[in-house]
Amino acid sequence: MNSAARTPRRLVGVMFDLDGTLADSFTDIAAALNLTRADFGLAPLPYEKVRETVGSGSTYLVKTLVPVPESEFKRAYESYQDHYEAHLLDHTRLYPGVPEVLRHFAGRPLAVVTNKNQRFAEAVLKGLGIRDHFQLVLGGDALARRKPDPLPVRTVLERFNLPAAESALVGDGLHDMEAAHGAGVIAVAVTTGVESRETLQAASPAYLMASLSELPGLFD
């Protein structure tokens, strides 16, 4: 829906996805994935192939893009974890306007809800200098289920006693939209990440943005 037609409204809490929403981390993820492939004698994959597979967590990423026998998966997964830990801040940067957006919404509960493993999410947020803006960070391995399941979103709502109808989840992927709808929060899509504008539009977000910097214009 066209955000320009909307009247700004008050939000009592905001949740953000990480990869593709707050930060462009795809280059470092692709590099770690291709280093893992090299460990198993596999040729590197194009950046876009890796980028389009990001969003469901590292287990899915490695299983999908490092085709090794099941008996070798644990070693492949550990290899990816090691490579990513060593390179997770080489090229990862905040999208334009992120610090300003976080300052705009300061004073209310802010959380990160990501499918990235907890320790990596924490490391990226700290390395980019924005960890202190968030009262809660939920990584993909923090709970029994991850996005698109609504459990992480509901956990944030319960932790801060937030009304779903006055809280938002901002993300770049279909998992974000599904989790938001499932938890009854306002779904806000941004086209800086893995999905096209058309794909996100079809997921029926309440708002669709080209940049996170548009968010303060939508909400008080």
Distance CA(75)–CA(188), nearest Å, equals 37
> Which candidate, 101, 108, 112, 214, places its Cα nearest to that of 161?
108
Any catalytic annotation for residue 17?
A: yes
Distances 213 to 98, 135, 136, 210 between C-alpha atoms, Å: 7, 21, 22, 9
| Polymer length in residues for the chain | 220
> Which candidate, 138, 137, 210, 199, places its Cα nearest to that of 173?
199
Which residue among 17, 19, 28, 172 is the active-site one?
17
- Which residues touch 45 (CB under 8 Å, ≥6 apart)? 30, 33, 34, 37, 65
Using CA of residue 49, residue 148, residue 17, residue 204, what is the dihedral sign? Answer: positive
b/e per residue, 80-113, with b = 16+ CB within 10 A?
bbebbeebbeeebebbeebeebbebbeeebbbbb
Residues marked active site are found at 17
